[in-house]
Amino acid sequence: MMPWFSVAPVTDESVFQTAAKVVSYTMDLKADADEVWAGLVSDRPLAWCKALNGQYTSERPFGVGTTRTIKVRGGLEARERFFIWDDAQRRHAFTFEQANLPLFSVFAEDYKVDPIEGGCRFTWTFAVSPSKFAALLFPLVWPLNKKLVLDGFIKDTVKHFGAL
């Protein structure tokens, strides 16, 4: 059985100002805001992202405290817990509670979908602080991770929904 490494719990959105690295992507998409939101909260969230395979482990209705597992191509697996969930505002944010690799002291993501003329604006924010184990390599690995993994998520999202 694979070991799991604890990640510091995040309980509020201040992490998106305090983490070692915070990257925010804003995409103006041709899809309706409700369509994008439905893809985020579906049984296979973010199914359009080729490098991700996720599933909710909580029963519906979802809200604060909902849990999910995610696998990222390349070997990372994580157990997540949502600390923000607002269906009306089409926003949610989660933190890693555990990961199978000892890379993070903090990890969180925030998704916000707003209607705009002709489609929607999807803002996807990542907040990451490395573990002590990963801290020395973090400045070297982060740019590569951003380019190969995070930028790929954005490319897949724009390809799936279409850019305005």
- pLDDT tens-digit series, residues 72-86: 998 999 999 999 999
What is the average per-residue pLDDT within 48-54? Answer: 96
Q: What angle (nearest 5°) sits at the alpha carbon of residue 34, between those of residues 31 and 38?
A: 100
User: Nearest CA to 27 among 89, 119, 109, 110?
Assistant: 119
Which range of residues forms the domain containing residue 74?
Answer: 5-161
Residue 67's pLDDT band (cuts 50, 70, 90): very high
Which amino acid is it at 101?
A: L
Residue 33's pLDDT band (cuts 50, 70, 90): very high
Q: CA 163, CA 30: separation in Å to the nearest integer?
A: 6
Whether the per-residue pLDDT at 41 is higher than 90: the answer is: yes
Number of domains in the chain: 1
Q: CA 142, CA 21: separation in Å to the nearest integer?
A: 9
- Give the pTM: 0.95
Whether the per-residue pLDDT at 1 is higher than 90: the answer is: no
Residue 131 sits in a domain of what CATH number?
Answer: 3.30.530.20
Whether the per-residue pLDDT at 2 is higher than 90: the answer is: no
